[in-house]
Each structure stands twice: as structure tokens, then as C-alpha cells.
Amino acid sequence: MPQPNPADAERVALAEAWIAQDPDPETRAELAALVEAARTGDPEASADLADRFDTRLAFGTAGLRGEIAAGPNRMNRVLVSQAAAGLAGYLLEHAEPGATPSVVVGYDGRKNSAVFARDSAAIMAGAGVRAVLLPQMLPTPVLAFAVRHLGTSAGVMVTASHNPPNDNGYKVYLGGGDQGSQIVAPADAEIAAHILRVAESTTVPQLPRGDFETAPEAVIDEYVRQTALVADTPSAQPRVVYTAMHGVGWETTARVLAVAGFDAPAVVDDQISPDPAFPTVAFPNPEEPGAMDLSFARARQSGAELVIANDPDADRLAVAIPDADSTEGYRRLTGNEVGLLLGWRAARRTAAGAARGFHGALACSIVSSPGLEAVARAYDLDFQATLTGFKWISRAPDLVFGFEEALGYLVNPETVRDKDGISAAVAFLSLAAELKAAGKTVADHLDEFIERFGCHASAQISLRVTDLSRIGEIMARLRAEPPAVVDGIRVQRIEDLADGFGTLPPSDVLRIVLDGGGRVMVRPSGTEPKLKVYIDAVGTDGSVAERRAAASDAVARIEAGMRELIGD
């Protein structure tokens, strides 16, 4: 019979203390069962207990995100209560003398999102912060909008975006001088320190709770009104299919499209309503293989010219267009393709206002397509490449448009300082309507982009690991033994961003610059156990077909070489 592990004694004591303060009967019960199994010497239970209690779910610039379960290394009501109290402490510490700080809290349709949000609002109110809860489950962009619209000191969105079904998360925004952007250093470390002090000194039942306000529906109405202004009055009506991917995007999107003057799209009925189980997809992420299969089936049925998909919290947008060469009949555009077309649209519109003295900037993350810089140069706009994440993109000076290749787009920075899959959908639909009125398709417009700016092809390798140390080992090896060639293409230089680079803050990223305009970015994922490799190449000579072939061939060679280098 297995014998108890002596090292478990301290963990069992920690777990019992956790159970005593946990207000959630589900997580209390599953942790009690785990403790009992560990006491009997079950090695799996012992390992699980160690994973939950030997470390803590880190609070960083992405907030919190993890699996819903008991323990400090999981998402649960204890951890969220500590986070709320810690954030309240931070806001009170940074408030002007005599002023009462404020926070608006939103939540999506995931498991426990509503209860995490109510806990947060009540605990922050009990700490002396004016707390406002959004009136219903809503998309993340509505919360980001509400921070600015209500003029609060901060915002909290309870969501895990497109993570697996049993995950949840906690995103923090700051108002005031941060203009409703997500937190960056040093605020993240300061908030984390406050959270840790709460966890070490106070139990959840000891945290005072107060009365919070409920935001009026007028907040949603104003988001709808301002987002609809992103579109021009449609001069044609493309046939569209929409899916919410079992998330909260549809109700708000439908209202925005109607106000903007677009016909109601056909919808994917099985995915249109919020469902925390996400029953029709393996991962609720439009980028994942198979996630848009139902959308394509609905599009074939309705003869759609455009497929629009939001992720579950509607801060991301996926677009697909008809493609006779695809077995599905449709092809999902890459995040870079959508970003470049929306960036071109923004540049044209900004240039039209330049005569009135307005000048703007385009921005994208360093792992997104360099093609956006070519667009900015062509229209005499500023360009800024930022670290990955809209917490950085949204802070670009004079921003008129920003994007990252992971399906994130910021098309209306005066309204929302974060990626917004709803306003991006409206902008792209407006572009499609303009093209249709001119007798063109989105595919035609992609060719026009290549004619004007060259073919900027891209690819990505996502190496998912079970042992996170493998990612560190690969990054260390690439630094210690930098490659001289990638599949025979000479490496011009390798730029290590670990200590910062130019205006960029330090980040665990390697940029490999190749002959012929190729580029590789290597970095660990910030939200998943993955090593991510981003590959870009450009074709600028010959016809559209020749440019596309040259760029595609270069990307394929670089991808093969990088897979060999990282051992994928």
C-alpha cells in the first residue's frame, strides 16, 4: 500500500486552511478529496497538491488566467477575492488625497465569470472603492469602453478569452493617464505585491464586503452608438455569416450592425448563444483547426460572401472568404491579412483628413507583419512596432489603427483602448460593402494590396509543451548557439530583446533577420504553454502571382529550417 509523502504534511495543512476560507462548495469538495487521497500516499494526488500549493498563479501584465480549481495556482473564488482586495489596495494607495477611487467590473459567459465579478465588486466596495458592475454578461470591449466612458480609475474583466472551457481569467485596465489601457509595468508588480500581502495576512471571510452599483444600460447603448460610427453608410450589402463561438458577442454585434445600417447576417445557430461548455469546438478559438467548420457549412448553405467570427469574449475577429481551391469552399484569412487590409483602410481615411491638419500613426506588435510599416510609409504616417499585446499597442502615440497577428485589431482608439472584435468586424464589413459596390471582392483587394505594397507572407509554429522547462531550454540554446543559416538562407543578425532593444522594453524575444527580407521572431507564449515562432517574408518583384509565389516559397523554407532548429 502506498505510504504518505512526508513533504505533503505542510501542503495538507495549507490545503485545509484554504478549504476553511473557500466560499465555493465545489472547489472545497474537490480539494478535500485531493487531500484525503494524498494522505493515503496516492502519488498522483501528491503531485497535484504540489502543483497547486508550491507556487501561486502569477499576476502580471496579462492579469490572471488559469484552470478553475482549488488552490493558489488555480482560478477560484479565494484567489479572485485576494486579487480584488489587492487591486483595491493599489487604487487607494494611488488615489489623489481626499478622492475615492473607482472601478467598473465586467464578465463574460464562462463558468464562474459572474460570481467572480460579483465577489470582486463587493470586496472592492468593502475596501472603500466605488465599484460598478456591468448590468449583464458582455464582451470585453464593452468593459474597456466603460472604463473611459464612466471615467473610472480602473476596470476588471473576468474572462479567459479563447482558452479551454475550464479556464477563467482576470484582466485589469487603468483609467486616468492610462486612458483605459491594460496594465503594464510597474503597475502589475505593485498590484501583485498588494495581492500577496492580502493572501498572507487575511482570510476571505475577513475581507469586508460593501454595496456596489450596477451600471445603467445606457453604457451599452453608447458603446453601440459609437462603434457603429466606425462604418460608412453601406452602399451595398454583402451576404454574411456570423458566429459567436459560444460566447457573448452576438447580442452586442447584432445591435451595432443594425445601427450601422447592415442587414442581419445569417448565424451559426449552434454557436450563437453563450455556453461555458463550448460543446461544438475542441478549443473556442477561431484560429484552431476545425473551429470554423460550422461557420463554413452555414456559409455554403447561404452563399455567403464573408464569414465573421468572434472569439468567446468578442475581443478578437476572424474573417473568411470564398475560396474555390479549399475543400471547405472558404478560407480563413490570416490575422496579418486582415490587419493589413484594415490598416490600409485606416491609412486612406487618415490621409483624407491630413489636409485638415490631422496626422496619425499605425502600430502593430513586433511579431505581426512588417507590411503595415510599408503602408505607413506610403501614406506618410508614423509607424511603431511594440511588444506583443494591446497593453503596448494601445499606448502608441497618435494611434489611428493597431493590430497583432493573433486576430486582434484596434480600429477606434478614441473609443476603446484595447483590441475589439466587434468594431473590427464593422470596419471590415464596411470595407467589403465598399468593394462590392465597386464590383470587387475581398480577394481582389488582397491582390491590389500585393500590387501596391508587395506580398507579405507569414507563417507560425506553435510548439505546445507539457514541461515548461523545455521552452527555456530552447531559448537558451538559440542564444548560446545562434544559427548562421536557416535552411540555407544566411542570417544577417540576431537581435536579443532580453535587455530591451531601441525603444522596446526588455522581453524574452529573439528576432532573426535573414537575407532577402525574411524575418523570424521566437518567444514563449504569454498565456499558454507554447513556444511561438513567427515567420515573415516578402515578394516585391514581378506579377501578383510571382510575388505571392516568391514570398510563399521563402516562408516555407524558413519554416522548415526553424522546425529543425527548435526540434519540432
Rounded Cα distance, 201 and 25, in Å = 23
Q: Is the pLDDT of residue 145 over 70?
A: yes
Residue 330 pLDDT: 97
**What does pTM read for this prediction?**
0.94
Q: At 496, list the grid cell.
A: 536579443
Rounded to whole angstroms, how far apart are CA atoms 117 and 104? 10
Q: Which of 160, 196, 188, 194 is nearest to 172 (CA)?
A: 188
Please, what is the angle between helix 442-453 and helix 421-437, to 10°? Answer: 90
pLDDT above 90 covers a percentage of the chain that reads 90
SS3 for 362-410 is EEEECCCCCHHHHHHHHCCCEEEEECCCHHHHCCCCCEEEEEECCCEEE
Element (H, E) at 523: strand 519-524
Whether 181 and 420 have beta carbons less than 8 Å apart is answered as no
Question: Is residue 388 a contact partner of residue 526, using CB atoms and an 8 Å limit?
Answer: yes
CB-based contacts of 199, cutoff 8 Å, min separation 6? 56, 72, 82
Q: DSSP E strands: which ranges in 316-360?
A: 317-322, 330-332
Q: What is the pLDDT of residues 392-410, one digit of tens each?
A: 999 999 999 999 999 999 9
List, in order, residues 6 or more apart from 559 with CB less than 8 Å away.
Answer: 459, 461, 535
C-alpha to C-alpha distance for 256 and 250, rounded to whole angstroms: 10
pLDDT of the residue at 352? 78
* Residue 108 grid coordinates: 463574460
User: What is the rounded CA–CA span in Å between residue 517 and residue 419?
Assistant: 29
**Residue 293: predicted pLDDT:** 96
What's the pLDDT tens digit per position in 478-536? 999 999 999 999 999 999 999 888 888 899 999 999 999 999 999 998 767 889 999 99
DSSP H helical segments within 494-543, as ranges? none
Q: Cell for 446?
A: 488582397
Mean pLDDT confidence for 412-422 = 96
Q: Which of 81, 120, 161, 430 is catalytic?
A: 161
Residues 6+ apart with CB under 8 A from 454: 371, 374, 538, 539, 540, 547, 551
**Neighbour tally for 386: CB within 10 Å:** 22
Residue 404 contacts residue 364 (beta carbons within 8 Å): yes
CA–CA distance, 229 with 213 (Å, rounded to integer): 29
Sorted by where each starts, the structural domains of the chain and their CATH numbers stand as 1-54 (no CATH), 73-216 (3.40.120.10), 228-439 (3.40.120.10), 454-566 (3.30.310.50)
How does DSSP assign 71-137, residue by residue? STTSBSHHHHHHHHHHHHHHHHHHSPTTPPPEEEEEE-SSTTHHHHHHHHHHHHHHTT-EEEE-SS-
How many other CB atoms sit within 10 Å of the CB of residue 371?
25
Per-residue CA distances from 120 to 90, 277, 515 (Å): 14, 23, 52
Provide φ and ψ at 291, rounded to 5°: -65, -30
Q: Could you tell me if 300 and 346 are in contact, meaning their C-beta atoms sit under 8 angstroms apart?
A: no
- Mean pLDDT, to the nearest integer, of 253-260? 98
Residues in CB range of 350: below 8 A, 6 or more apart: 358, 359, 360, 379, 381, 400, 401
Active site residue 161: yes
SS3 230: coil
Q: Is the pLDDT of residue 2 over 80?
A: no
Lowest-pLDDT range, 131-140, 193-202, 355-364? 355-364
List the grid coordinates of 223. Answer: 458603446
Buried/exposed code over 68-87 (b: 16+ C-beta within 10 A; e: otherwise): bbbbbbbbbbbbbbbbbbbb
Identify any residues that bridge with 141 across adjacent strands, giving them in sequence order: none
The reported pLDDT for the residue numbered 6 is 64
Which residue type does 132 have? V
Q: Is the pLDDT of residue 356 over 80?
A: no
- In which band, very low, low, confident or very high, does the pLDDT at 351 lie, cut at 50, 70 and 90? confident
pLDDT digits (tens, 9 = 90+) for 208-239: 999 999 999 999 999 999 999 999 999 999 99
Question: Mean pLDDT over residues 116-124, rounded?
Answer: 98
Residue 308 has phi, psi (to 5 degrees) of: -120, 130
The yes-or-no verdict on residue 1 having pLDDT over 50 is no
pLDDT of amino acid 198: 98
Average pLDDT, the chain: 95
**pLDDT at position 359, please?**
78
Main-chain phi, psi angles of 230, to 5 degrees = -65, -30
Predicted local distance difference test score (pLDDT) of residue 4:
55
Residue 129 · residue 95 · CB < 8 Å: no
Strand 64-67 and strand 167-174: pairing?
antiparallel
Q: How far apart are CA 165 and CA 275, in angstroms?
A: 9
CA gap 566, 462 in Å, rounded:
11
Q: Is a pLDDT exceeding 70 seen at residue 357?
A: no
Distances (CA, A) of 180 to 81, 113, 395: 23, 21, 10
- 8 — pLDDT class (breaks 50, 70, 90): confident
